[in-house]
Chains A and B, each alone.
Chain A
Amino acid sequence: MSVIQIKDLRYSFGHGETRQEVLHGITADFTQGEITIIAGPSGSGKTTLLKLIAGLRTIQEGSIVIDGQPLESSTQKQLVNVRRKIGFIFQSHHLIGSLSVTQNVMMPLTFDPKMTAAKARERALEILHEVDLDDHVNKKPEQLSGGQKQRVAIARALVHRPTIILADEPTASLDGPTGREVVSHLQRLSKEFGNTIVMVTHDNRILDVADHLVTLVDGKLSDHEPEIGSGF
């Protein structure tokens, strides 16, 4: 079953003479429960595509349907509801410095009107256990290593059981083994929870976790799979 449907998507930056099209008519379907990695060199439009899927940028041409909701015709309220079905993992963790690890992970649970503080805490601790952070639940983000922070970001992205996980270069700021470990956690948990993952990366060392690997080069998507380990 397709969770994300993209059709003839085009996107440009600038106006007039400075206008530059970065996505040239992309069409793609992302299936539920699959991990899709969009690989490609820097500047190829990967992050722009991810932001369009998240409803963070306005669609100029073409269409994106998320879990049955067409983004191009969505109201602001509908876009907010779409975003609540999505878990984000960014290149930088963007954790809230004044909150503890547990409180950071609890934040997305505030959308659930039936959620109590006790239940939310329990849920956060469970998922923090899943990413091996039991010993760090009361720490502040500044007390964690880069890899630990990214694992907190994964826990935060997954805690409210989103339909879709969008990950933008989640290993970019991590060393090789740490990046590998973070992605392994993400892969394992998404399989467990049945999330659809769209991950943008140019880190060729993690491409093997993908169920479906596509490349984005010069604004065009192709099923041509890069050679694992070759890098971009």
Chain B
Amino acid sequence: MPLLNKLVPLGIPLAWLNLIKEKKRFFAAVAGIIFAVTMMLYQMGLKTAMFTQVVFPHLMLNCDLVITSPQYEYFGISRGFTEKRLNQAFALPQVDDVAPLYLVNLPIKNPLTKVNRDIFIIGFDPADKPFSDEAIESQQGLLKIPGHALFDVRSHAKFGPIVDLLEEGTVTTETNGRATEIVGTFEMGTTFAADGNLLVSKQTFFEIFPGQNPNLPAVGLITLEPGSDANATADELRAMLPQDVKIMTRAEFIDNEKRYWGERTPIGFVISASMAVAIIVGAVIVYQILYTDVTDHLEEYATLKSIGFKDSYFISLILQESVILSVLGFIPGAAFTAGLYYVTRKVAYMPTYFQWDNAGIVLGLTIFMCILAGALATRKLRHANPADIF
């Protein structure tokens, strides 16, 4: 109660009453903050979605360590490494299993429109267990038949209504000009490198992509015996194997992917820059509104100052106005962003979801932005001498 009495002395909510006195100005301020909040939260949502999206395949992989070429950059088209290294790794007693993966983007024909669109193809030996996904595990036996494939139900709609067609039986189409029969589905999701995914056996992979050397997989998965130390094994392999491969733990493999898209492509920079612009625009709007408020009330505030109100009272007053504006701008801004997330999910197939931790950060940034603007706006008042005003 003492704090409340200090903030709102004698129950007179001057900050709130000052704000709502000029209705148009008040709504302009709130609209400005809604804009800034929406920009920030939406950009953060995109960034989170991007980092979630780019590691969809990684999270489904059944591995503790990963072997790639030293030139490996991201989970897409990659220079292969000699499969011999995977076999050498298998020689370690703590290694339980190894599995090579073959990756390529090739055109698949939309069964209805007959238009070819590139799809991301992952080839693997159906005898291995490279995915920790029940749907894949239960259907991967079907891939032993050459030409058979599993289709990612979260692929872009441009590949056709394959899921609907599957309800009537298998779907026959062409991948890179070779007949392909889609015999089942799984869920993985699109990434920046793939608008859709197709799983095939190693044999089918090389049938539809005959130019690729079967001894050069793109990614090698290593699973360890339970209780084994992944970091220590990674170090052991780095010491043991020649420099023609790169060893990563599962966590490093995931981080590598996020870092690639976040730092080595313009996407991460563009999102960060957009957030900075949103904060600056929001702060400028709030500053203008609060500065005008201070200017308009300068004589009133000077009167209070002349009868003994301290500077701290006015600073508290303007900061209260800042916090009120930030909260009132945040709530509709967050709701509006949730709507934008929904549209983005439907249109762009990005996993944009409202996340409370992002919302908390944006609320914090919004309050900081408003308080900073408010603190700047009080400078005129703090330096104002009532004797010069009257």
Contact = CB atoms under 8 A, between A and B. Distances in A.
Interface of A: 47, 51, 54, 56-57, 80-81, 83-84, 86-88, 90-92, 94-99, 103, 106-111, 115-117, 120-121, 157, 168
Interface string B294-329: 000101101110111010000000000000000000
19 contacts: A57-B385, A57-B387, A80-B310, A88-B303, A92-B299, A94-B302, A94-B303, A95-B300, A96-B14, A97-B300, A99-B14, A106-B12, A110-B9, A110-B12, A115-B10, A117-B10, A117-B11, A120-B10, A157-B307
A47 B109 CA distance: 90
A54 B11 contact: no
B59 to A, nearest CB: 55
Interface string B272-312: 00000000000000000000000001011011101110100
B390 interface: yes
B17 interface: yes
Contacts of B20: 98
B386 interface: yes
Contacts, number: 71
Contact of B387 (A51, A109, A157): A51
Given A86-B307, A99-B12, A117-B11, A56 B387 contact: yes
Given A106-B12, A117-B11, A98 B306 contact: no
Contacts of B299: 92, 94
A98 B11 contact: no
Q: Is the interface of A mostly helix, strand, loop or mixed?
A: mixed
A86 B386 CA distance: 14
A83 B300 CA distance: 16
A83 B307 contact: yes
A167 to B, nearest CB: 12
A87 B12 contact: no
Contacts of B11: 117
B21 interface: yes
Interface in B2-39: 9-12, 14, 17-18, 20-21
Contacts of A54: 306, 387
Contacts of A97: 21, 297, 300
Contacts of A90: 303, 390
B387 A84 contact: no
Please provide the 3 A-B residue pairs with the shortest distance between their CB atoms, ordered closest to farther.
A84-B308, A110-B9, A56-B387
Contacts of B302: 94
B308 A56 contact: no
A80 B300 contact: no
Given A94-B300, A168-B390, A87 B307 contact: yes
Nearest to A116: B10
A154 B310 CA distance: 22
A56 B385 contact: yes
A107 B306 contact: no
B310 A56 contact: no
Contacts of A108: 307-308
A115 B304 CA distance: 18
A161 to B, nearest CB: 13
A53 B390 CA distance: 15
A107 B386 CA distance: 17
Given A90-B303, A97-B21, A97-B300, A109 B308 contact: no
A91 B390 CA distance: 9
A62 B306 CA distance: 22
A157 B304 CA distance: 11
A165 to B, nearest CB: 11
A111 B5 CA distance: 11
B18 A80 contact: no
Contacts of A157: 307
Contacts of A88: 303, 306-307
Given A98-B14, A103-B12, A107-B304, 18 more contacts: A57-B387, A83-B307, A83-B308, A84-B308, A90-B390, A94-B300, A94-B390, A96-B14, A98-B18, A98-B21, A99-B14, A107-B12, A110-B9, A110-B10, A111-B308, A115-B10, A116-B10, A157-B307
Contacts of B306: 54, 56, 83, 88
**From B14, B18, B387, residue with most partner A Cβ within 10 Å:** B387
A120 B299 CA distance: 24
Interface string B26-65: 0000000000000000000000000000000000000000
Interface in B195-215: none
B172 to A, nearest CB: 74
Contacts of A96: 14, 297, 300, 304
